[in-house]
Structure 1
Amino acid sequence: MGLFKQNPFGHYLFLKKWLIRIMGSLTHRRYRGFNQLQIIGSEIIKDLPDTKVLFVSNHQTYFADVVAMYHVFNASLKGRNDNIKNIGYLWNPKMNIYYVAAKETMKGGLLPKILAYAGSVSIDRTWRAEGKQVNRQVKMSDITNIGKALNDGWVITFPQGTTTPWKPIRKGTAHIIKKYKPIVIPIVIDGFRRSFDKKGINIKKRGILQSMHIKEPLEFDYENDTVNVIVEKLQYAIEQHPSFLKVLTKKQLEEEELLNEKRRYSAKD
């Protein structure tokens, strides 16, 4: 790799590689140490093409979710199925992994700016800004930048656009799928909200069982599926469709989460 080689967004790959190595080393124990990350389905990762892959996931923290995915993806590409043992997988990380994040979030301090350099495709929220509800048009430059990232590699996105569960899928993700026709891999995560603060930087509780389930690619008729059809498929795939709440009420689910936490801590005592 040339010292001054850049990706399509003007980031120097040599610097990006060292940021991933350093940040990966600093965060590894958050998923294999203080807490334990249970991974299902990571064998899917190593068989994916090098570009035009879109990962869609539910969202629980600003940063811890995507950092965990960097670990899991790189470990899988180095032959580690469903585990992130031996951090050597980050010595030569996959350099063309990107993630979609709110521009406002990525400007909030030095650490977010470092994480942004490691792979953020920053966009303007159309529904919220500076803690207030807004209603503005999607910027075409944001759509173009996500397409640029897809053409260069893999993109992680959280189509609900919020860490609050059960919120609707934003239609922008469906438009991106119709326009760029990527392979779409759903991911369902859990335990991150209990492990970390909302930003995913500070450890809130230790000994939490985290989970990441990587599913088979979704099937779309890119030409004929409507935006609403795609949105519904995404909702089911990342287990955020309202029908999932019909099994247990939201209050019952919250009570079940509290009970699970007590069980985990009791088991350690």
Structure 2
Amino acid sequence: MGLFKKNPFGHYLFIKKWLIRIMGGLTHQRYQGFNDLQIEGSSIIKDLPGRNVLFVSNHQTYFADVVAMYHVFNASLSGRVDNIKNVGYLWDPKLNIYYVAAAETMKKGLLPKVLAYAGSVSIDRTWRADGKSVNRQVKMSDISNIGMALDDGWVITFPQGTTKPWKPIRKGTAFIIKKYKPIVVPIVIDGFRRSFDKKGIRIKKRNILQSMVIKEPLEIDYENEEIESIIEKIEYAIEQHPTFLKVIPESEIKAHESLNEQRRYSSDYKAEKTPKNKDKKNQKES
């Protein structure tokens, strides 16, 4: 690799490699130490082509989800199946992994800017901006940039566009699939919302069982399949279809989300009357 070689977005690969090495080393214990990331299906990763692969996943934090995927993908490519032990797999990371993120999120602070250089394809959300609902046209340059990333390598996207569960899949993901015809690999994650704050930076609770399930690529008829059909397939694949609410009561989900909000914002939450030994027992059971 030449010292001054760039990717299609003008980022120096030498700098990107060192950012991934450093950030990977700093974050490894968040998934293999403070918490326990259980992985299933990572053997699929090694059989994928080097480019035009789109990963679709549910979303729980701004950054922790995608950082975990960088770990899992690179570990799998180095021969580790369903584990991320020994961070040495990041010495020679795959440099053409990208992820789709909201432009406004990636501009707020130094850390998001560093993470953006490591692989963000930043887009302007059509439905929300600065915490307010909006309704604006999709920028064709955003679509083109995602296409450019797919042409160069792998792209991770969170098609619900939010960390809140059970939200609808955005149609833009289906349009991208029909336009660029990538291999679509679903991923289902859990435990990240309980482990980290909303941004995925601060460790909120330790000894949480995190999980990442990588599923077989979806079968899609790129030429003839309707947008709605592709959306429904994604909803089922990442386990965010409304029918899943029949398995997990919505009241339980809302209660769980409310508890997360208390943990995030209440400084008095840790001082509840629950005995320490009981709290430790609950952590292990969760």
- Tell me if 1:239 matches 2:239: yes
**TM, length-normalised to structure 2:** 0.90
User: What residue in structure 1 maps to residue 165 of structure 2?
Assistant: 165
2:283 to 258, 265, 268: 265
* Bigger Rg, structure 1 or 2: 2
Whichever residue aligns with residue 76 of structure 1, its letter is S
CA deviation vs aligned residue, 1:113-150 (integer Å, no higher than 9, x gap): 00000000000000000000000000000000000000
- Tell me if 1:72 matches 2:72: yes
CA deviation vs aligned residue, 1:166-196 (integer Å, no higher than 9, x gap): 0000000000000000000000000000000
User: What residue in structure 1 maps to residue 40 of structure 2?
Assistant: 40
In structure 1, runs of 5+ residues without a counterpart are none
| Equivalent pair of 1:52/1:151 in contact (CA under 8 Å) | yes
Change (3 A) 1:105 1:78: same
Whichever residue aligns with residue 17 of structure 1, its letter is K
**TM, length-normalised to structure 1:** 0.96
User: What residue in structure 1 maps to residue 202 of structure 2?
Assistant: 202
Once residues 204 and 256 of structure 1 are traced to their aligned partners in structure 2, the CA distance between those partners, rounded to angstroms, is: 15
Instruction: Give the 3-state SS of the residue equivalent to 2:60 in structure 1.
Output: coil
Once residues 254 and 37 of structure 1 are traced to their aligned partners in structure 2, the CA distance between those partners, rounded to angstroms, is: 24
User: Once superposed, what is the RMSD of the aligned Cα atoms?
Assistant: 1.5
In structure 2, runs of 5+ residues without a counterpart are 260-278
Whichever residue aligns with residue 167 of structure 1, its letter is K
User: What residue in structure 1 maps to residue 84 of structure 2?
Assistant: 84
Whichever residue aligns with residue 163 of structure 2, its letter is T
User: What residue in structure 2 maps to residue 117 of structure 1?
Assistant: 117
Once the two structures are TM-superposed, the CA of residue 253 in structure 1 deviates from its matched residue by: 3.9
Instruction: Give the 3-state SS of the residue equivalent to 1:115 in structure 2.
Output: helix
CA deviation vs aligned residue, 1:83-118 (integer Å, no higher than 9, x gap): 000100000000000000000000000000000000
* Percent of matched pairs sharing the same residue: 79
Whichever residue aligns with residue 283 of structure 2, its letter is Y
User: What residue in structure 2 maps to residue 183 of structure 1?
Assistant: 183
- Tell me if 1:18 matches 2:18: yes
| Equivalent pair of 2:207/2:284 in contact (CA under 8 Å) | no
| Equivalent pair of 1:220/1:230 in contact (CA under 8 Å) | yes
CA deviation vs aligned residue, 1:183-242 (integer Å, no higher than 9, x gap): 000000000000000000000000000000000000000011111111010000000000
Once residues 82 and 153 of structure 1 are traced to their aligned partners in structure 2, the CA distance between those partners, rounded to angstroms, is: 22
How many residues align structurally? Answer: 266
Once residues 233 and 146 of structure 2 are traced to their aligned partners in structure 1, the CA distance between those partners, rounded to angstroms, is: 21
